[in-house]
């Protein structure tokens, strides 16, 4: 129970994790031993969430008797006079004893009790059980003991903010996501163009669509590839904040990644599995050899006209090893409880809200690796490109102050600059953002009609350069990566080969124009 000093005198049942009578006794005992402390280390009436009534009475005794000459009017405001019983003196001696034995200073006890009482006050005022549970979760944060009062307040404010955003852990229930189809990705209204309808699966609810050329280079897929390595190979918790890709899209991209990339396959054991993203989305799987089934033109099992989704899944389990291997991979992904990709999607936010999201996960989950996709101006400064430097500065300050890594993506201009000639002038937003960043890579596709003009080597100083192999498919691409800023020193130009169908990225080495294609000096 909690007994407040206000007029309501409400009794509220708190969970045990928010109840610490010994800490309360230590705080009150320290005030009894040094009543002058009430002048600085006092609680306002609404903050007083003592667990038992006699503890509140002893606190009020300090206000109105032991420390009355030190307590300000602000400290006394709203409190009634204490109720004194025959046990009060005994309780006071017990509090003093606990205070002496504790080793707490007045300042430490005060800040710990204020943190706890802030949580209790928020719990008491929470309108729903869900919000109450989120308040309790703050006490369970990995770094709760490192949090100050301001961080507690920020986390409490974050609970209110998260009502407007979608949070999730991408690998939770991911097999059900794949086979049940309870997502916004599969069907939508057809467009006037059959090919576009097939490509985008129609105009689907929850999406907006713009058309601009070029772009669509795969920034989010590149980030997914990197964070999958951090989370599932290196076993690090990672936070991904996205203002573009939704949770469903990120889950599908994550499935495509873990099914296909070479550094994940040995972990789940399905080393011979190779599935395109479109096949995974459409539940397109081939039957085992010798099994009779109705197939489409590409050899994938067709769902029968009167067949339910549940029956179709059961049939896939019976006749398609490819389907079962895919589910085995996603089952493995869902089992990775000690590491994961924590995902926040927010379509609009202020810089303060972005900071609060990062700090909330830093304290709650101990996350030290953060990725922000895409770095752009906040909602208060839309259209002002120079403001992006302020957002980047906030991220840089957080990284330095809390010893964390924060990666982000930026938008390059869609222009005719050759890939190896890229510079800061090719960034779409403010060029001054480079001043804040520690490292900057500029990545652009080498046109598939000009790939023969380039060569690469596995070593930077190599004399053995080789030709780029012809792209196998339309979605097989070569990307040049120009290191434009590097605090560690070197600024090479790297070559990546990727296939967006499978989200596989292969670093080939160092790239340059063939000597005969070099411009004349």
pLDDT tens digits, 177-198:
888 766 656 666 554 543 334 4
What pLDDT was estimated at residue 205?
52
DSSP 317: H
**In what helix (H) or strand (E) does residue 187 lie, and over which residues does it extend?**
none
Residue 414 three-state SS: coil
Has residue 28 got a pLDDT over 70? yes
Which one is predicted more confidently, 267 or 519?
267
pLDDT tens string 414-446: 888 999 998 888 887 667 888 888 888 898 999
User: Where does the pLDDT of residue 488 fall: very low under 50, low under 70, confident under 90, or very high at 90 and above?
Assistant: low
Report how far residue 185's alpha carbon sits from residue 169's, in angstroms, rounded to the nearest whole number. 18
Report how far residue 497's alpha carbon sits from residue 218's, in angstroms, rounded to the nearest whole number. 12
CA atoms 176, 180, 183, 185: torsion sign: positive
Has residue 385 got a pLDDT over 90? no
What pLDDT was estimated at residue 165?
62
What is the average per-residue pLDDT within 470-497? Answer: 86
| C-beta separation of 57 from 9 below 8 A | no
What pLDDT was estimated at residue 423?
87
Has residue 376 got a pLDDT over 90? no
**Which phi and psi (to 5°) does residue 193 adopt?**
-115, 110
Q: Which residue has the tokens 């992904």?
A: 333
Share of the chain above pLDDT 90, in %: 57
What is the average per-residue pLDDT within 157-178? Answer: 76
CA atoms 232, 234, 238, 244: torsion sign: negative
What pLDDT was estimated at residue 188?
61
Smallest CA-to-CA distance from 84 within 98, 65, 70 is with 65
- The 10 Å Cβ neighbour count of residue 194 is 9
Lowest mean pLDDT among 79-93, 129-143, 328-342, 437-451: 437-451
Lowest mean pLDDT among 178-187, 292-301, 471-480: 178-187
Enter the pTM of the model.
0.77
**Average pLDDT score, the chain:** 86
Has residue 212 got a pLDDT over 50? no
DSSP 44: -
What pLDDT was estimated at residue 298?
94
Residue 122 three-state SS: helix
């Amino acid at each position: 129970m909690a007994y407040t000093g206000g007029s309501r005198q409400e009794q509220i049942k708190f969970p045990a994790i928010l109840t610490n009578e010994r800490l309360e006794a230590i705080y009150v005992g320290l005030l009894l031993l040094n009543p002058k402390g009430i002048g600085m280390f006092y609680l306002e009436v609404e903050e007083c969430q003592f667990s038992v009534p006699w503890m509140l009475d002893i606190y009020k005794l300090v206000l109105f008797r032991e420390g009355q000459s030190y307590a300000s009017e602000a400290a006394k405001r709203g409190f009634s006079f204490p109720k004194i019983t025959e046990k009060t003196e005994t309780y006071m001696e017990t509090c003093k004893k606990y205070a002496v034995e504790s080793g707490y200073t007045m300042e430490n006890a005060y800040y710990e009790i204020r943190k706890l009482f802030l949580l209790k006050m928020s719990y008491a005022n929470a309108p729903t059980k869900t919000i109450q549970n989120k308040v309790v979760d703050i006490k369970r944060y990995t770094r709760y003991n490192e949090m100050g009062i301001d961080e507690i307040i920020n986390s409490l404010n974050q609970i209110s903010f998260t009502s407007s955003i979608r949070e999730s852990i991408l690998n939770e229930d991911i097999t059900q996501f794949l086979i049940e189809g309870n997502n916004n990705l599969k069907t939508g209204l057809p467009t006037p163009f059959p090919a576009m309808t097939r490509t985008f699966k129609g105009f689907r609810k929850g999406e907006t669509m713009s058309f601009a050329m070029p772009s669509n280079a795969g920034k989010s897929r590149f980030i997914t590839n990197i964070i999958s390595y951090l989370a599932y190979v290196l076993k690090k918790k990672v936070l991904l904040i996205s203002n573009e890709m939704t949770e469903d899209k990120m889950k599908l991209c994550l499935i495509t990644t873990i099914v296909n990339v070479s550094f994940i396959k040995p972990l789940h054991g399905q080393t011979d599995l190779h599935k395109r993203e479109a096949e995974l989305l459409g539940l397109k799987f081939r039957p085992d050899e010798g099994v009779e089934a109705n197939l489409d033109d590409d050899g994938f099992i067709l769902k029968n006209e009167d067949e339910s989704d549940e029956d179709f899944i059961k049939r896939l389990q019976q006749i398609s090893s490819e389907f079962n291997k895919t589910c085995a991979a996603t089952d493995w992904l869902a089992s990775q409880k000690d590491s994961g990709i924590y995902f926040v999607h927010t379509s609009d936010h202020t810089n303060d809200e972005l900071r609060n999201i990062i700090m909330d996960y830093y304290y709650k989950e101990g996350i030290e690796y953060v990725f922000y996709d895409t770095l752009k101006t906040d909602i208060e400064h839309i259209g002002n490109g120079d403001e992006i430097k302020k957002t980047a500065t906030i991220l840089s300050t957080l990284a330095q102050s809390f010893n964390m890594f924060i990666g982000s993506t930026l938008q390059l201009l869609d222009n005719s600059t050759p890939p190896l000639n890229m510079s800061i002038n090719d960034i779409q937003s403010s060029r001054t953002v480079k001043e804040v960043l520690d490292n900057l890579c500029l990545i652009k596709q080498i046109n598939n009609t000009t790939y023969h003009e380039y060569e690469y080597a596995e070593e930077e100083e190599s004399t053995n350069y080789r030709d780029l192999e012809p792209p196998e498919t339309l979605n097989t691409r070569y990307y040049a990566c120009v290191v434009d800023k590097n605090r560690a020193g070197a600024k090479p130009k790297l070559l990546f080969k990727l296939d967006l169908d499978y989200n596989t990225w292969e670093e080939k080495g160092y790239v340059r124009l063939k000597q005969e294609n070099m411009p004349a000096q």
